[in-house]
Amino acid sequence: METWPFWLAGLGIGAFVPLFAFATGKALGISSGYSEMCALNKPASSERWKLWFALGLPLGGVASALLAGGPTWVASSSDLTSALGLGGPAQLALLALGGGFIGYGARAAGGCTSGHSIVGIAQGAKSSLIATVGFMVGGFAATWGALLLAGGAA
């Protein structure tokens, strides 16, 4: 996958936030889009736009992959196998478990890496700074814990 240097990617993601706000009047947020997925059986709320935004994300992934000569469809992650020695069903179980933590934690914290770590910190919001410290501490702890459990198979 062709990628951009960190500064270009950061500029792009960062500039997206005020441009999106200027175009739509709304603050970028993604994790709450999953709440809309969970509320499809209810009448559309004023937050229904978040679902459409979330559904657009895979389209962007396709576009990015197409430019790099893809997409190449794969059912398992070779990176996860080399990092933790996990493949097949065990890998999918780990991803689903990790996803569960992500969803539960994002709703408890009131946002994710986009809404809290980028938009929130950019506004200087205390809650977003605290949430992001939590994201980082949790991430470091889980990574090193998993490596220990996997027998240091890094």
Where in 84-113 is the site for other proteins (CB under 8 A)?
91-113
The span from the CA of 111 to the CA of 15, in Å, is: 19
Residues 6+ apart with CB under 8 A from 86: 80, 94, 150
- Report, in Å, the least distance between residue 7 CB and other proteins: 5
| Residue bearing tokens 């004023």 | 46
The reply to whether 153 sits near other proteins by the rule CB under 8 A is no
The reply to whether 83 sits near other proteins by the rule CB under 8 A is yes
- Report, in Å, the least distance between residue 148 CB and other proteins: 12
- Report, in Å, the least distance between residue 30 CB and other proteins: 4
Residues 20-79 that bind other proteins (CB under 8 A): 20-35, 37-38, 49-50, 52-65, 70-77, 79
Among 85, 143, 149, 153, binds other proteins (CB under 8 A): 143
**Helix orientation angle between 88-109 and 126-149, rounded to the nearest 10 degrees:** 160
Among 41, 42, 69, 124, binds other proteins (CB under 8 A): 124
The site for other proteins, by CB under 8 A, has a size of: 118
* Contact criterion met (CB below 8 Å) for 61 and 1: no
Query: Kindly report the CA angle at 83 between 77 and 89, in degrees rounded to 5?
Result: 45
- Report, in Å, the least distance between residue 150 CB and other proteins: 12
The reply to whether 150 sits near other proteins by the rule CB under 8 A is no
- The DSSP call for residue 68 is T
Cis peptide before 71 (omega within 30 of 0): yes
